[in-house]
Amino acid sequence: MAFAGDSSRRKFFKRAGVAAGSALLTANQIWAAEHGENLPPNIPSWMQQTGTGVGAAPYGSPSEYEKDAIRRTVPWLTATPISSVSFSPLQSLQGIITPSSLHFERHHSGIPNIDPEEHRLMIHGLCGNPLVLTMDDLVRFPSVSEIRFIECPANGGMEWRGPQMEALQFTHGMISCSEWTGVRLSTLLAEVGVDPKAKWVLAEGADGAAMARSIPLDKALNDVIVAYAQNGERIRPEQGYPLRLVNPGWEGNTSIKWLRRLELGEKPWHLREETSKYTDLMPDGRARRFTWVQETNSVVTSVCPENSLKSRGYHELEGVAWSGRGKIKQVDISFDGGFSWKEAKLKGLVLDKALTRFSLDWSWDGSPALIQSRAIDDTGYVQPTLAQLREVRGVNSIYHKNSIHTWQVLATGEVKNVQNT
Ligand SMILES: Nc1nc2c(c(=O)[nH]1)N[C@H]1C(S)=C(S)[C@@H](COP(=O)(O)O)O[C@H]1N2
Ligand SMILES: [Mo]
């Protein structure tokens, strides 16, 4: 077993150009130089004074040493930041909750600055009692709090034809998971009295894009939340302040942010976001539409291009899995590109339509490996291989690429994004 001190000592002597054991340095000087003034048994500088008092940060922020855990954009994807995406740093996150500050963002016309006092939710169309609700009205309804993921169906979409993004943040960072609090859409629909002829609900946002999607009434009455809070506080502007739809397990695009209008109708509206976008071109030239559910998916996060292996021996391999259909039932890990599999352990909470963390004890012997994870949900759906997915879908799609992902571990410990079909 090599101790961290051994290599830092070597590094110090190299930098200082001093041979180990040089008589010019006293034992104490060597100790301090080797270990740093703040390391045991010294009293670190931050113990030799008082710290910052309460109230200095009325709204807290992360430690200044955690500058790497940030949302990132891909320059060539971001022709203009008002219609683009920022990715969540999955490589730096733990557990299943995404800190609100690190939730991925996807805006079609920027983030509107909405005064909640002047914001209204209008519910109209085929119903007996159309309503215009204030935020105060909405908060008076009985509420629910549920942990759900939101994923853009374009997650992974850059990789249909080959590996392109040399970072987990960009191959999978369009998923995040929060505790959402709000009113069930079914509660609000009961209040307006849905006409039996109504089969669809249109949800429209109050952004410059007036982004809107048609949602079948069955889903609207099932588990959809009209949410005003995220992880305990009011929803962040990026996520739809003061009100958004959370459409569990479905394409993130249907979780309309800055929600201002719900209309009940007989037929879908066939808007831009469900015709020219969020549809997939099949090999025969026809397009799939209304591909609502985010299929079972998973990825290893503790070993990835951003998290290279720094030493041999024990590693707790971790990752996240999710299914828009329900709960994750099982995750298997392969180290040989899918020839053999070991069952991982599901860690912590295993919830419906939420990120689920998995882990596996692993001892890295320094040899190259092809690491994959394969998730199975409680409907029995098994995450497909890339070859299986391409066989059905071809390579002309943007959306719904949920195939098994491969990380190549090199003997140096570096990790590459590769495709192993
Ligand atoms: N009003 C409105 N709602 C919207 C969008 C938008 O641009 N405007 N983007 C959609 C898309 S494409 C996705 S993937 C999710 C992203 O949610 P997030 O930005 O909170 O991660 O919001 C959806 N809701
Ligand atoms: Mo999206």
Long-range own/partner contacts, residues 337-344 (CB < 8 A, 24 or more apart): 337/370, 337/372, 337/406, 337/420, 338/370, 338/372, 338/374, 338/385, 338/404, 338/420, 341/374, 344/317, 344/319, 344/373
User: Where is pLDDT greater, at 331 or 1?
Assistant: 331
CA 206 to ligand 1: nearest atom = 1
- Please, what are the domains in the chain? 81-288 (3.90.420.10), 297-418 (2.60.40.650)
Cα 197 from Cα 84, distance rounded (Å): 37
User: Which tokens is 272 given?
Assistant: 């831009």
Instruction: List residues, by chain if needed, whose CB lies under 5 Å from ion ligand 2.
Output: 106, 152, 252-253
**How are beta strands 259-265 and 200-205 bridged, if at all?**
antiparallel
Instruction: Give the confidence band of 23 by pLDDT, cuts at 50, 70, 90.
Output: low
Ligand number, closest to the Cα atom of 175: 1
Cα 154 from Cα 193, distance rounded (Å): 35
Tally helices (H) and strands (E) across the chain.
Answer: 7, 23
pLDDT tens digits, 335-390: 999 999 999 999 999 999 999 999 999 999 999 999 999 999 999 999 999 999 99
Q: Cα(81) to centroid of ligand 2, in Å?
A: 15
Q: Cα(264) to centroid of ligand 1, in Å?
A: 21
Residue nearest ligand 1's atom 23 by CA: 253
The pLDDT value given to residue 209: 96
CB-based contact 20:34 (threshold 8 Å): no
Ligand 1 environment, Cβ below 6 A:
103-108, 150, 152, 176, 205, 207, 209, 211, 238-239, 252-253, 255-258
Residue nearest ligand 1's atom 16 by CA: 106
CA 103 to ligand 1: nearest atom = 21
**Residue 284 three-state SS:** coil
Average pLDDT of the chain? Answer: 93
Q: Cα(238) to centroid of ligand 2, in Å?
A: 13
Region of residue 119 (left: phi > 0; alpha: psi -120 to 50; beta: else) = beta
pLDDT tens digits, 184-218: 999 999 999 999 999 999 999 999 999 999 999 99
Ligand number, closest to the Cα atom of 260: 1
Give the Å distances, CA to CA, from 378 to 149, 151, 152, 223, 297: 17, 19, 22, 18, 13
pLDDT tens digits, 146-167: 999 999 999 999 999 999 999 9
Q: Cα(62) to centroid of ligand 1, in Å?
A: 25
The DSSP line for 108-170 is SS------GGG--EEEEESBSS-EEE-HHHHHHS--EEEEEEEE-TTTTGGGSSS---SSHHH
Instruction: Give the confidence band of 24 by pLDDT, cuts at 50, 70, 90.
Output: low
Which residues have CB under 8 Å from 67's CB, separation 6+? none
Torsion, Cα of 56, 180, 72, 297 (10° steps): 140
Torsion, Cα of 137, 180, 236, 157 (10° steps): -130
The DSSP line for 303-362 is SBTTB---SSEEEEEEEEEE-SSS-EEEEEEESBTTSS-EEPEEES---TTS-EEEEEEE
Whether the per-residue pLDDT at 57 is higher than 60: the answer is: yes
User: Which tokens is 135 given?
Assistant: 């935020």
Ligand 1 mutation target, pool 98, 244, 255, 276, most atoms within 8 A of CB: 255
